[in-house]
Amino acid sequence: MATEIERKFVVENLGEVLRIPAMPVHQGYLARNSDEEVRIRRLGDEYTVTTKKGAGLQRLEFETPISAAQFDALWPATEGSRIAKSRREVKLPEGRIAYVDVFEGHLEGLATVEVEFDDTDTALAFVPPDWFGHEVTEDRRYSNKVLSSEGKPE
């Protein structure tokens, strides 16, 4: 498994970000517990199944491509644990990519931004732009697996 190192923020004001073309994302969870998840995702015309272990800044992740037919066969098993969103990629001044997700359906009104890093030192040294809003990296309520079934945090 690969290690995912990522920081996540809630965006309050999307401003110019909404001018960037978006890619539709549909994902559903096949299994979820406090420290593990298995999800399927359709991002545009790409389909994957992903297993993640851990929570917060650093966790293990294994992702593999699947076919559209496999995605469609598994999708009914995710009933009650799904999210729909549009994703935009914003290039940051230092060359990193910020992934901005604008949620739809039962999560409408929520927007988050995630940035991935090669190591924890770089992640912790990262100074987010003001438009990122408040950080929720360690707040499990903002993990997609929790959002998918419990909705927006109050």
Question: Is 29 noted as a catalytic residue in this protein?
Answer: yes
Cβ 135 vs Cβ 8: under 8 Å? yes
Q: Token digits for 65?
A: 């491509």
> Distance of CA 147 to CAs 15, 64, 84, 144, Å?
24, 23, 11, 5
Active site residues: 29
